[in-house]
Amino acid sequence: MKRRTVAFSPEARADLIALYDWIALAAGPETAIAYINRLETYCRGFSTASERGHRRDDIRRGLRIVGFERRVTIAFSVDAYRVTILRLFYAGRNWEGSMSG
């Protein structure tokens, strides 16, 4: 099975920070860090079986979408050597409008 490097775009990193802040405010920092750790671990798992999720070339060429724990939509792309986590959308945010173009 082919292994790829997993990288988070600057926008995805900002999404993680914003998500942490939101959860920490609502449920406490321990809950927030546990959730972010699970989410990052899940994303890093794309190093194998990288081509999972649904292709959404109708929105952006090479875009793939997958859900995480029924609350986060992960937008990513895959090339020969790398998986790039493009954005992380929490709780029904309009990911389609953000990813078009």
pLDDT digits (tens, 9 = 90+) for 12-31: 999 999 999 999 999 999 99
Q: How far apart are CA 21 and CA 33, in angstroms?
A: 10
pLDDT digits (tens, 9 = 90+) for 62-86: 999 999 998 999 999 999 999 999 9
Name the band, by pLDDT with cuts 50, 70 and 90, for residue 37: very high
Q: How far apart are CA 48 and CA 5, in angstroms?
A: 9
CATH topology of domain 5-93: YaeB-like fold (3.30.2310)
Quick check: 82 and 64 in contact, CB under 8 A? no
Q: Which residue has the higher pLDDT, 48 or 93?
A: 48
pLDDT digits (tens, 9 = 90+) for 42-67: 999 999 988 889 999 988 899 999 99
- What's the token pair of residue 82? 């790398």
Q: Which residue has the tokens 């953000």?
A: 98
pLDDT at 49: 82
